[in-house]
Structure formats: C-alpha cells, structure tokens
Amino acid sequence: MAWINMATFLLLLVFGGVGARVTFSDNAYNDVLVYIHPDVHEDDRLLDNIKKTFTSASALLHRASRNHFYFGAVTIYIPHTWTAKKVYEDVVQESRDNMDVLIEPSRTDGDYDDHPSNAPFTPNFKGCKQMGEYIHLTNTFMVNDIEAAKYGPREKARIVLVHEWAHYRFGIFDEYPQPSNPLFYVSSEGKIEATRCSLAIKVQFYNNETEEGCDIVNGLPEKACRFRENSDATDSSFGSLMYKQNIDQITEFCTDDSTGESLHNREAPNNQNDRCGSQSAWEIIRAHDDFINSKAKSTIDTTPQFRVVKKKNPPKIVLVLDLSGSMNYSSKLIKLRQGCYSFLSYTVSECSEVGIIEFSTTAKTKQNLTRIGEKSRVGLVNALPSTATGVSTSIGSGLIEALKMLGDYAYGSHIIVVSDGEENEKPKIPEVKEEVLCHVIKSRAIVHSIAITQNASADIDQLSHDTGGQSYIVNPDNTESLNAKFKNIGKSAADSCHQEIASDLVNQQIKIPGGKPKLKKAFVLDASLGRDLLIIFQFESNDFLIKISSPNGNPYSKHSEEFSCSHEFMACHFLLAHAEPGVWTIEFSTSGESQTITYTVEAKAADPSVEPIEAEILWKSPGPQNISSVPEEPQKLYAKVKQGNLPIIDASVRAIVETPTGEDIRLNLADNGVGPDAIANDGVYSADFVSYTSAGRYQAKASVEGSGSTTTNKNGIVGFGEISGANNPEASKKTGSFSRTQTSQSIQVVHYNPDPSGKLYPPARISDLKVTRVDQSNFTATLEWTAVGEQASIGQDEEYYVIGIVVIDEKNRSSTSTISNLAHISFTTIPDTIIDKEEEEEMIPTLYIIIGCASCVLVALVTVAIVANIKCRRTNEISPEEPQEVPYVNEQPEIGPPPPTPPPPAKPQEHWRNRGVRVMF
C-alpha cells in the first residue's frame, strides 16, 4: 500500500477533511460536487452550461478574492435516470450527502408557477461565518435564457454562482433590501439612504404606483416609494457581489479597508449587518482559513478540471463486530445481533454488497462480500456471530481485515465498526490509523462507528470524524435499540442504490408488566405516509403477545401473514404494503415475567411523487469537543422539519440529550428567531446545549409532533426563510397531526475542565432591544427586549447594566460620540405573563442619566461581555431642499431568497420580556 506523508493528510483535514465536501489547497477549491437530482430530465446542455458557468465564475472569484481563490476541480454527478455513457467515470464517494451544489427540476404548485424553490438560494441556519448547507439551482435556470434573465443576462450566471458560493463557503449574507426590513433608513448623518452596499451606487427614487417622485411623510419616504440604480452608473467597478448581480460594474465584495467606492455600508438594515455584527463581507473572507492559508497568485490558470461521474458498481458495506467477552454482559451481544438482523433484513439495499468480520484478540472474516438479494439476506443473517468468547479487544485488527476484504477497488465502501470497550490488544487503532487513512484517501472509504457503552475506544470516533463517517453511542442499560443507528448509516449507501428512505415515526422502549395485564400504545400515521409500514419489535423473552389495530379496526396478531418473528433473534417484524392514515394502536401483554420491549415504526410516502414530512436532528459542531473554562460559543442542537424544501412551522420539537453520567438533559427547540435560532419560521428548530456533565459521549434524540396549528410554509425554504417575491395565495397548508423521531450522531467531549462556578458560557447577545417610546417632555426613553439566559439562552439572567448612552443631536441628526460613564445600574427582570398593566408603572424603575436633550438615543446595553445596540426611529421631517434617496424594488428578481421575517414576540412560557424600562436622558 502506498505511503502518504501524514503532514499532507493533516493538511487535507484542515481544508475540509477526507470525507468532507469541497477541499481547499494551493488557492484552489477541489472536490466541488455538483449533484443533479434524479428528476432532472437528461439534457447535454445542462452539462455544458455547468462547465461554462463554473469556468467563468472561477475567473470572477479569483478577481473578487484578490487572487486568492478559484475553482480547481469540479465533479458532476449524473443521476441513475440518465443514459450510461463511456465518458462517465465511476462514482468514488460522491453522493447527495456531500454535495456542494444541488440542481433540481423547476417546480410548480398547481396554478402557482413561481415556486419559491426555483430561485437560487443557499440555506444557512448556523449563522455568520458558518458554512452553509449547499447551493441550490434549477435545471431551468441553467439552460433556459428566459428564466436566467430574471437574474440578469445569461453571462451574469457566473455572478450568481460567486454570490451563492460566498453564502456557502464563508457564511456571509445578502446586502440587498429585505422584505421584512425597511427599504430605506436615515443614516447617522441625517440623510435618507437606500439600503445598498456600497453607498457609491447612485440611485433615483420613484413612486411604484404613479412612477413619479416620492413624498416625504414623517421624515421618511412614503410607503409606495421605491428606488432604482442609475442606468448610467457603469463607468467604474464598485458595489458588492452580495448586493445586485444585475449591475454591470459590480465585481467585488464590500470591504472595510477602503475609503472608496466599495466601502461597506455598516448602517444598512440588511441580513449581512444584522447577522454578522455589521462586518463587511471582505472582513469575514479575510479572516477565513482559506484566505489565511493561501497567498495571492495573480498569474494562474483559473480554468477548472471537470469529472462527470455515474454510479457503475455497487456500494460495499463491511460490518466489523466486536466479540470480546465483555459483549456477553448487559445483553450487548443480543442487541448487536438484533440490530444487524433488522439491518440485513430490511434496511440495506439490494444493490449493495455486504461482508461480515468479527474481532476480539484477532480478526477473521465471517462472510465475504455478498450481493444483497432475497436469498443472500438469509445467508448473511445466518452468518451473524452468536457467541462472544474473545479475551481481549483489538479494533485495529478488525479494520485491517476490512481493508483486505475491500481490496484495492473500494470506491463507495463503508466500514461499520461496533465495539463496547477500550482496546487492550495490538494492533490498536493508532497503530493502524496511518494505513487506514492511506487507504481512505486513495479510495474514499468511510468508517462509521457505533459505541456500545461509554467505555468504547474514543479513537474509533476520531477515525470516523476524520473519514467523514457517522458516530453513535448505545447505552445497553436503557434497552436502546441499534436500529436507528444502522438505518442512519445505511442512508449513506442508499443514495447510491436509488433507494427510497422511510420516515421514522416511533422509537420507544416500554416495560410490559407480568401476569397478562394489557398495555396499549398508539401512533399517528399521517396522510403524507402510507406505503411499507414497518414495525420492528425487539424483546427479552418470547413469552408475549402483540395485537395491532388499524384506524378502521382491522386486527393483526403475531400469527398474521404481515408478521415475521424470529425466536433466535428475539425480534418480530410487521410489514404492511399499504396502510391507511389515522391512529394505529398496539396492544402488548405477557403471561410470564415483566419484560422490556423496544419497538420502532417507519413508513414511506403515500405517493412516491409527493415528498413526505421529514425530520433530522444534528449538532452544530459534530467533531471532538474541548470544554474548558475559556468561554467559546456554546454547542447548538438543530432539528430540521420539512416537506421537500418547504419548512414545517409551529411544530412541537423536544429533545433528550443522553450524557456520559447517565443524566438525561431535556430541551425544547424553537423556531422563533430568538436566541440560538437564527431565522424565524424556516423549519429549523434550535436550542443551546450547555449542560455538560463530564468527558465522554453525548447523543440527542428528538421527538417532533404536529398539531392542528402546524403548517407547511409554501413561501419559504427550510433553513433559509421566506423567499423574495414568493406570493402563493395559499402559502400555509395545515399538516394535521403527525409524529417523527430522530437520533443525532454522538459528539465526544475529549477534555472537560469547567469553570469552578459551573458556568461555561456568558449570557447570549441581546438581539431584539427596542426603544418603544421616547418622551421628550420628561426626557425619558422606554426600552424593551427579550431576556437572555444565565448561560447562553439557558436559564434566566436577572441583572443588566446600562453602561452608556450615545446621543443623536436633534438639529444635526448626528452622533455627538458622547459616552456616559455610568455603570452597574441594575434592575430585575419580570416575566411577561405576570405583568399587570395597572401595576406596571410601580414596577418599572426609572434610571436617571442626565446627559442633555436629544430627539433620539442610541442605547448600548451590556450583559457580561455581550453588547446589543439599538437606534430609535426619527420622527421629524427632512427639509424638501435636502437630497432625497429612496428605496428600490428591483424590476428583476433578486439573487436567492429574501431574509426571514422579523422574529415574532417570544412565547410567554419560553422567554421573559423586560418591558417598559425607562431611561431618563
């Protein structure tokens, strides 16, 4: 096997990782994956235009990044629905899981043709400076000049791509006016400005109803006022690529290191300023690892190299199973056998090849790679190990045996390692890691891990992370099933096999009392599901009865043809090809001793052409964690709830985080745009996680429930929010009741050294501070904001300190730059739900800060080290003789979707509101 310098490997890890998506080295973005959806009709023009667009965008990116970046190598993934051609190479490890660009077919929704997901967009719900999910384009945009013309002439597609790449790679946001924000504002210099970047872009105003000039009402342009860029402003290169792609002169990003025409407009009310603390796009790019680890190269060929790939060979899956003696305790071996039994019987696709390796002191092949079919499934199940007699544990020997089984041609392969203990026998993982990684770099094989107990070697989690694999933890003490873990890993191979994935409804453990008392459970099969209803039961003793009843009363027992039971594996499977929606019930009983039963419920879409409601739970930072007394941004837990690309809003999302000490931490996830949730109503529900208990593995299980108030937002995109120009008159569609369950990957805390106080993080930034009233006669301003947590958004912080007020002069409407020197003026938070209007005046303290008269104040509130600024709205009119600049409505749709709507008022049961706090100035 060829040896690779480990420094080279570490360099690959720094710029994306072996199993990651795009990688970066020597100024070039390589391994960029363009994934064509199977529903896109075969069209050679699409391939040609992908290549042309990336080639021209590469040159523009190089120029805009000041000679630092370009597209080096791009791979185009051809779907299985297209005709095979000799020029297509085989897939290595490319799949939808690691795509950078997704090309989907344009969509319609009945008579509503302008579907929001037809616009170019890049979901990013993790926030500023965080990599996005993927870039979304449509085949129509790529091949139809009329559709592309909505975003400028065809040659402007390169700017669209660079614009979206900046969203995706660097975590920066749009600088054009947002539908939920003012299209105009009054600057600190007292001028009416259009929301744009940079201010060097000249604009003219008009009334979009009369096409005449705009009136000024209460100091601001009237409601119907719009602005457009001057048509003759094309003689210079200025503006920002995050603003308008249809303006000819824009070829770079707004920056902070210029006093000229590309200077960032920090006051504009746009997503970039709101989410990135008014930093310019170039400030963020300049601080990115890609920029820091590269040098400008002005003379370079920026033409990308292209590969076009289509799956030719089946994916290979190798199960590497621990059979050391410790697997005999706490039913670990039977759980391993049950999980493998269900995986081989129902989860793994028939286009796959599966092999089995067992290890303890040494490793041996139990079953060579076998193509999955009806008969071979039985053979693989029979080959599963039934005893664990090993004395010691050498995971390294199992990995080496797996590499031998895969051979030199391991493209598309997956190694699944299941183990319960620390290695105590050579070769250990660190001793074979270099060999494994050499093989992985060559073939792009992926190593996944399932740890049974916290005692399992931490090295296997690190190896999974390094190769782009998944990691899970199973605690045998709570009778947890391995089914969900095997299924999540199996999804990685399912894409290569074009396999439809079932939605998970239930994953539950119950204790059945002895002596024949009946225990009933129910679940809802919603209307989006209905095919291949599969219920898997795993039990401790064969002495039990099950009765399943459909919504119309049809009964099914263990003797029904839909049931298949195995006494050897202590498992039963119920499979119904077509199931009716509604409430299903399961009745359990046993005549023997009490026992615990684990059961899972899943089903596929009722109509294969209509996407079902889906849920996914994930950590913001999936890699190894270092928890110390030095504050860093807290970990976040996200749950995506969607139907296709459309967000599901007003669902109930709860999560239980299992900790190494056995304590369960319960979290409520919200989609309200407050605290850890970046965007309201985008279908991504969020929560901070700060409750670490020790070093070890943490894993979350989410439960998602839909009710009568839950809806699908047809004007939005999951992870993005509402789309600019989306105007579906029936945007909200009731989902009805539904349930979904999902298990996250595990994260591992490798170092745990908390602050002696027990607090790891400061309170969250106050993001919605408002001046709700200014009383000039009494010289007071009334402030309102949502209370932050004691740590991040968790708990309740009870003291806040006003440390400064910046005065805006009434006559000149400009800041005097005077900062008061007051500090440590505190007040108590009051829950929104207990404020009595009649008692409110007595409960509100008045803070007397005498600094002079003003019509408006800029208030800076600080909680620990977190600063939130707010500038109140001016009400006095601008003189008609002053220059008037008013907002613009683009006659062509914007690049990508608009930002989300402002966060709704916080729910009383979830957040506290500080209301009516008066400051005297």
C-alpha torsion 705→708→712→718, nearest 10: -30
Residue of 782, 748, 750 lying closest to 659 (CA atoms): 748
CB 376 within 8 A of CB 601: no
Residue holding tokens 């593995």?
Answer: 697
pLDDT 10s digits, 424-436 = 999 999 888 888 8
- Is pLDDT of 884 > 70? no
Distance (Å, whole) CA 441 – CA 429: 17
The distance in angstroms from the start CA to the end CA of the chain is 75
Distance (Å, whole) CA 763 – CA 787: 10
- Residue-level length of the chain: 921
- Is pLDDT of 136 > 70? yes
Structure letter (DSSP) for residue 797: -
SS3 586: strand
In terms of pLDDT, which residue wins out, 42 or 865?
42
Max distance between CA atoms of the chain, in angstroms, equals: 92
CATH match for 613-753 among 1.10.3720.10, 3.40.50.2300, 2.60.40.1930, 3.90.320.10: 2.60.40.1930
SS3 741: strand
CB 242 within 8 A of CB 175: yes
Domain ranges of the chain: 19-173+290-310, 178-266, 313-494, 613-753, 762-831+914-920
pLDDT at 800: 56
Distance (Å, whole) CA 842 – CA 844: 6
Distance (Å, whole) CA 412 – CA 780: 67
CB 788 within 8 A of CB 676: no
With a pLDDT cut of 90, the percent of the chain lying above it is 51
Distance (Å, whole) CA 433 – CA 400: 10
For 332, half-sphere exposure in the C-beta direction (CA atoms, 13 angstrom radius) is 25
CB 434 within 8 A of CB 6: yes
Residue holding tokens 């630092």?
Answer: 68
- Is pLDDT of 170 > 80? yes
CATH class held by domain 313-494: alpha beta
In terms of pLDDT, which residue wins out, 296 or 853?
296
Residue of 758, 745, 825 lying closest to 794 (CA atoms): 758
pLDDT at 30: 96
For 516, half-sphere exposure in the C-beta direction (CA atoms, 13 angstrom radius) is 1
Distance (Å, whole) CA 48 – CA 508: 50
pLDDT 10s digits, 826-864 = 333 333 333 343 443 333 333 322 222 222 233 333 222
- DSSP one-letter string for 378-426: HHHHHTS-----BSS--HHHHHHHHHHHH-S--TTEEEEEEE-S---SS
Distance (Å, whole) CA 196 – CA 201: 8
Phi, psi of 377 (to 5 degrees): -60, -45
pLDDT at 230: 77
Average pLDDT over residues 710-730: 80
Distance (Å, whole) CA 804 – CA 800: 12
Q: What token pair was written down for 170?
A: 């660097």
Which one-letter amino acid corresponds to residue 325? Answer: G
- Is pLDDT of 670 > 90? yes
Distance (Å, whole) CA 132 – CA 125: 8
SS3 73: strand
Q: What token pair was written down for 211?
A: 């096409």
pLDDT 10s digits, 66-108 = 999 999 999 999 999 999 999 999 888 888 889 999 999 987 6
CB 342 within 8 A of CB 599: no
Q: What token pair was written down for 97?
A: 């899981």
**pLDDT band (50, 70, 90) for residue 737:** very high
In terms of pLDDT, which residue wins out, 852 or 786?
786
Which one-letter amino acid corresponds to residue 310? Answer: K
What average pLDDT is seen over the chain? 80
Distance (Å, whole) CA 64 – CA 252: 5
CB 205 within 8 A of CB 224: no
Q: Say what the pTM is.
A: 0.84
**Cβ atoms within 10 Å, residue 852:** 11
In terms of pLDDT, which residue wins out, 341 or 772?
341
Q: What token pair was written down for 262?
A: 């590309």
pLDDT 10s digits, 530-581 = 999 999 999 988 888 999 999 999 999 999 999 999 999 999 999 999 999 9
**pLDDT band (50, 70, 90) for residue 901:** very low
Average pLDDT over residues 579-600: 93
Give the range among 170-174, 306-310, 751-755 with minimum mean pLDDT.
Answer: 751-755
How large is the C-alpha radius of gyration of the chain?
30
pLDDT at 845: 33
**What sign has the CA pseudo-torsion 266, 271, 274, 278?**
negative
**Cβ atoms within 10 Å, residue 848:** 12
pLDDT at 856: 29
- Is pLDDT of 890 > 80? no
Residue holding tokens 């710029």?
Answer: 15
pLDDT at 262: 83
SS3 158: helix
Distance (Å, whole) CA 122 – CA 124: 6
Give the range among 466-470, 491-495, 572-576 with minimum mean pLDDT.
Answer: 491-495
pLDDT at 565: 94
- Is pLDDT of 121 > 80? yes
pLDDT at 754: 80
pLDDT at 767: 67
Say if residue 124 is exposed, middle or buried (CB neighbours under 10 Å; 0-12, 13-18, 19+).
buried
